Amino acid sequence: MAQPEITEEQKKEFEEKLKNMSPEELAEFQKQQCIFCQIISGKTTSQKIYEDDRCLAILDINPAAKGHILILPKEHYAIMPQVPAEDIKHFYVVAKYLSQIVLKTLKVGGTSIYVANGIAASQKAQHFMIHIIPRKEGDELLTVNESLLDKDLRQKVKSAVQPKLNELMGVKKEVVEVQEKLDEPKKKNKSVKKKEVEEDESDDDEVEKEEPEEEVDDETDNEESDDDDKEEPEEDEVDDDDEEEKDEGDANLDDIANLFK
């Protein structure tokens, strides 16, 4: 039975109603309209492959290949940026093990694991999901016409994306472009080497200039040490004279003492 067509007036009323909804009301409305939320709740039947407290894995009703699996979050998320990071991690761990099972049981050569994120990326349902598609060589599934972007356009994309990505990932330093360093002209490297040689020569000249100053210091030190050596005998001579004077004084006192005997 064909559904009745919606008039233009009804469409406007519906759009106005959506605008006035709170985020919670809008999420609940999307959940009610989502076929995959109905599958998760059990209102619609499906062929379950795996289930835990966070996700459900089912066989796609319109598979791209035999064994096409969908991993669905039990919470309703329309697109990937809405999904918490911890849940994303869990879903891809599940995808890893399901991929291993598909490779072994179906005897295929590989699997394509991908997310259609947004209408432009061929997302057909408003519920985030991960696709696991068994692949055989030459099956021509998911063929993409490769187109190379010119260097200027790639640089513009990088300049627009990289700073924001570094901010989100907590990266403080920008990535060093090694390839650009390797592609620098050899002449520039030679000029740098020349500058380094000149700097080394200037450093040698400074060292040579400093060496005579050290020799002068040594000479002054030697002179001071010689003066000290010369002064020492004078001190010894003074001490000897004092001792002789003491001896003479003692002798005279003895003579005087003898007179009183």
Q: Are strands 110-114 and 130-135 parallel, antiparallel or unpaired?
A: antiparallel
pTM higher than 0.95, yes or no? no
- Give residue 74's pLDDT: 96
**Residue 83 DSSP class:** S
Torsion, Cα 224 228 231 236, to 10 degrees, reads 180
Q: b/e string for 196-217 if b means 16 or more Cβ within 10 A?
A: eeeeeeeeeeeeeeeeeeeeee
Strands lying side by side in the sheet with 130-135: 48-51, 55-59, 69-73, 130-135, 110-114
pLDDT tops 50 at residue 103: yes
**Of the candidates 107, 100, 126, the residue with the CA atom closest to the CA atom of residue 37:** 126
**Maximum separation of any 2 CA atoms in the chain, in Å:** 163
Q: In this predicted model, what pLDDT tens digit does every residue of 5-45 receive, in sequence order?
A: 668 887 788 778 778 888 788 778 888 889 999 999 999 99
